[in-house]
Copies of this chain bind each other. A is one copy, B any other.
């Protein structure tokens, strides 16, 4: 059980996009170079972020990706959910039968982590 590398890439990319000037979109090539991975793969990850509404893309020459919305509102959880999906970390006996107490414990534990990730904004890194 691990978070995927894609989540890692997404978080770093978002941090870079926040730090960058918001007027001009940033190309995939540039973003990929920063993290040493192929542009085609990164574009796949960014597509998820676009569909989640976190960023927007501009096609054509001088195109690229740009932050969407206020950067102060962007939390870690937003990015993680965009990549990993919003389904629960733990899947118990069938689906959501409320009798299983083990399931309950796992859910509250997961909630504790999510709350932390929701309260931490990406802007906080910029100091």
Residues of A within 8 A of B (CB): 1-5, 7-8, 11-12, 15, 76, 84, 87, 89-93, 101-102, 105-106, 108-110, 112-113, 115-117, 120, 125
A28 to chain B, nearest CB (A): 19
Task: Tell me which residues across on chain B come within 8 A of A113, comparing CB atoms.
Answer: 109-110, 112-113
Chain B contacts of A112 at CB under 8 A?
112-113, 115-116
In the bound complex, residues from chain B placing their C-beta under 8 Å from that of A90 are 2-3, 7-8
Overall SS of chain A's interface? helix
Q: Are B102 and A15 in contact (CB under 8 A)?
A: yes
Residues of chain B with a CB closer than 8 A to A87's CB: 2
